[in-house]
Amino acid sequence: MSQKRAREARRQAGAAKTQPTGRSPRAWILIAAAGAAVVAVLVAGVLVARGTGPAQAVSASSSSAVSISGTDPVTGKNVSLADYAGKPVVLNVWGSWCEGCIAEAEDLQRFVERHPEAQMIGIDYQDSADGARRFYAEHGWKHPSIDDPHGEISKGLGLQGTPTTFFLDSSHRVVTRIVGATDEAGFEQGLAAAVAAS
């Protein structure tokens, strides 16, 4: 083999090593650009979904009064909505596993402290007693909750997702609700509507 042919063979072997799939450098640039575009779209979707802000109260008028009772997962005591007759009630469906519930927990606690005229009752949705106790301790909650291990109470209320907060007038009819995590202003808005309807 001549030196010229040997050099040509080495050059071809080297080119094959740098392009093992047979794609040109331009093809690799296009593939990388397409991958970056897909990642950018996914990130934008996540940011848009997160950036919608706190959930707002919407009208949810009901002509019939809500009547629920059950065992508090933290204290083991019986909790009944009937014990708060004539008082507006706020029902917050939550779970220790729920990220939105964690996000709104501190705002909810501040709201409860500012409004002794209304009764807050939690509905602990498909949770464990240990999880509920840890959640209460971590967020300083003191209001009663009702254990809802199979979701029957929550589904009876028309649950569409967690967290959900229902605002009941003094006759315990649902006036407004908030589906999703909210802030203190959202809780205030929901209670104001329930009080106005009482």
Residue 37 has pLDDT above 60, yes or no: no
Distance, in Å, from the CA atom of 125 to the CA atom of 145, rounded to the nearest integer, reads 10
Q: Are residues 78 and 141 in the same domain?
A: yes
CATH number of the domain that residue 123 is part of: 3.40.30.10
Q: Are residues 43 and 123 in the same domain?
A: no
Which domain range does residue 145 map to?
58-197
Least confident among 12-26, 72-86, 93-107: 12-26
Q: Are residues 25 and 88 in the same domain?
A: no
Among residues 34, 50, 66, which one ends one of the domains? Answer: 50
Which comes out higher in pLDDT, residue 130 or 13?
Answer: 130
Q: Are residues 96 and 13 in the same domain?
A: no
Q: Are residues 39 and 71 in the same domain?
A: no
Q: Are residues 133 and 172 in the same domain?
A: yes
Distance, in Å, from the CA atom of 57 to the CA atom of 102, rounded to the nearest integer, reads 19
Q: Are residues 122 and 174 in the same domain?
A: yes
| pTM of this structure | 0.73
pLDDT value of residue 7: 64
Q: Are residues 116 and 151 in the same domain?
A: yes
Q: Are residues 27 and 71 in the same domain?
A: no
Q: Are residues 77 and 136 in the same domain?
A: yes
Which comes out higher in pLDDT, residue 29 or 180?
Answer: 180
Close Cβ partners of 34 (under 8 Å, ≥ 6 residues apart): none
pLDDT value of residue 49: 39
Residue 157's Cβ-side half-sphere holds a number of Cα atoms within 13 Å equal to 34
How many distinct structural domains can be found in the chain? 2
Q: Are residues 67 and 13 in the same domain?
A: no
How would you classify the pairing of strands 78-80 and 69-71?
Answer: antiparallel
Q: Are residues 77 and 146 in the same domain?
A: yes
* pLDDT tens string 120-175: 999 999 999 999 999 999 999 999 999 999 999 999 999 999 999 999 999 999 99
